[in-house]
A and B are shown apart, each in its own frame.
Chain A
């Protein structure tokens, strides 16, 4: 009786995902462990040095890089959060009808003001 009721609870739909997570995590670990038995191992200092077209590496790889990458990451963070807010709205849009349309017009309107600001400030330019 109880067993028949279990699938009705939506939380049990996540059980296969937990199983999948275990299998998917074991998969690369087992491969990495198993392959150790087969392959040769012959480390030498020149072989282990980072690749730099054949010459000895010049300085460290962890140097300063363009600030643009941070800017893109921040813009993404802002817009992605907004996108997640759109999902529940879109799912129940049928029930919201005209109220939903006005609401989202205000929401995206504010978003577009911010987008326009970022554009005019040159945040979307590369170089």
Chain B
């Protein structure tokens, strides 16, 4: 019971922090996109637009929730929940920092450290497809169906490259537990270069992972599922009010999870100078690294045009997958040589 209570408290705190962070991520995205396009971005609600997320939330709550004329009303209501729950649950194994002492007991800054943590994240990542394809199917709209189908095909194609690209990290770390993968990366080469996997010897794996992660979360330049110029809004065309908000939060939560995962697997997670002694410093390092990835997401959105669908599928299957295979061979050969 003790464990369950502690877990529930940790989950509540982490969910609260992450969801607030995601709300502000949307604001920062709009701000940064505004600056890229020489606009000011949102600046009306509160100073510097800081109350904008609150205003958006109120609007989502107050709007009518239209359920279109569809034979699948249950699936229509279920789909946003299915899109929201898996990315939130993936937070359970992300190590946010080392261990802190609170009220005389040691508390790990990770909800739970299961020994198949990475597999767990990928399993939940596969579940995300269901929410999207069910949304596309149950909306009974042509745009939704096409967007859902496209999205499903894209996500499963890039999931392959995503899972293959981390095999190299596993060879090097020898464990699936995310906290141990972080520990493997603590310390320095020659006393100066951090022992992060991105430097030695997974730079190729890192590149594949990041590209596949952008495609997996349906973001620019891989945002074909919601290509607004041809599909209106893709799979969530028919969704409104709080159900639309759930898709929205689900997408941003997925972005956060893959950024945190990239940090953990390739950039040493919460490790950094002094992070072992001052745990909050580790949390800061983790936030900075994850924030960097999230900034790159927004940067890409402000910079790149959208792929064509056949280019997208060919890039996934004919470039990323062979590169991931090559990475596995290089990694296993290097591991042997070491």
Contacts and interface: CB of A to CB of B under 8 A. Distances in A.
A16 B314 CA distance: 40
B335 A35 contact: no
A50 B141 contact: yes
Interface string B296-308: 0000000000000
Given A28-B80, A61-B140, A39 B241 contact: yes
B81 A28 contact: yes
Given A49-B68, A86-B167, A69 B92 contact: no
Contacts of B70: 50
Interface in A87-116: 87, 90-94, 97-98, 100-101, 104-105, 108, 111-112, 115
Contacts of A73: 152-153, 156
B84 A42 contact: no
Contacts of A53: 232
Nearest to B146: A65
A7 B3 contact: yes
A108 B327 CA distance: 12
Interface string B46-81: 000000000000000111111111100000010011
Interface string A1-40: 0010011001011111101110111011101100110111
Interface string A64-86: 01001100110110011001101
Which interface class (under 10, 10 to 19, 20 to 34, 35 or more) fits A? 35 or more
A81 B228 CA distance: 34
DSSP class of A's interface residues: helix, strand, loop or mixed?
helix
Interface in B166-185: 167-168, 170-171, 174-176
Interface in A36-66: 36, 38-43, 45, 47-53, 57, 60-63, 65
A42 B68 CA distance: 12
Interface of B: 2-4, 7-8, 10-12, 15, 61-70, 77, 80-81, 84-85, 88-89, 91-92, 111-115, 118-120, 137, 139-146, 149, 152-153, 156-157, 159-160, 163-164, 167-168, 170-171, 174-176, 232, 237-238, 241-243, 246, 309-310, 313-314, 317-318, 321-322, 325, 328-329, 332-333, 335-336
Pairs of residues from A and B, 8 with the lowest C-beta to C-beta distance, nearest first = A16-B7, A90-B170, A126-B310, A50-B141, A16-B112, A28-B81, A76-B156, A13-B114
Given A16-B92, A65-B145, 14 more contacts: A3-B2, A6-B3, A27-B84, A32-B81, A35-B242, A39-B64, A52-B143, A60-B140, A61-B142, A72-B153, A87-B170, A91-B176, A93-B335, A104-B332
